[in-house]
Amino acid sequence: MTFTILVLIVLAVLAAAFFALTRRDTVAVRARDREFSNDDGVVSDPVPLNGTAQVSEPDRITWTKQFDPRSGALDDAARLRLIEDLALLRAPWCVPILEQACREETDPANRNAAQRALTLCREEHPV
């Protein structure tokens, strides 16, 4: 009889601990989601940090720094993906960045992609 009561007490303690631990994680997730959520549920387009294209030094690619100045140098494939993403966005702020990419890109495929993306952005947002 005492063994049965002991087993029931241990099970009750384990169930309470399990409930408390899972409940704590749920509350933490809700608090984190509230902290980062947008009240009206609308997400805006990403905007470059300084809003304008910078003049570059020769043989140096700096147009990617518009998004994160602390980021390291991106390889050709990563820059191509970024150019393609800008072409999909076709936002007005993409135009100066793509103009800078056209000037700075050393890889012919990236330069051609930047020129195509710039054409698409200019068609969408004529100056």
Give this prediction's pTM.
Answer: 0.54
Residue 56 falls in which region: left (phi positive, over 0), alpha (psi -120 to 50) or beta: beta
- Contact between 105 and 79 under an 8 Å Cβ cutoff? The reply is yes
61-99 pLDDT, tens digit per residue, is 889 888 777 777 888 999 999 999 999 999 999 999 999
CA dist 126 and 2 (Å) reads 84
In this predicted model, what pLDDT tens digit does every residue of 4-56 receive, in sequence order? 887 778 777 777 766 666 665 555 545 544 444 444 444 455 555 555 544 44
Rounded to 5°, the CA angle 49-55-58 comes to 125
Output 3 or 86, whichever has higher pLDDT.
86
Distance (Å, whole) CA 71 – CA 60: 15
Dihedral sign, CA of 113, 115, 117, 119? negative
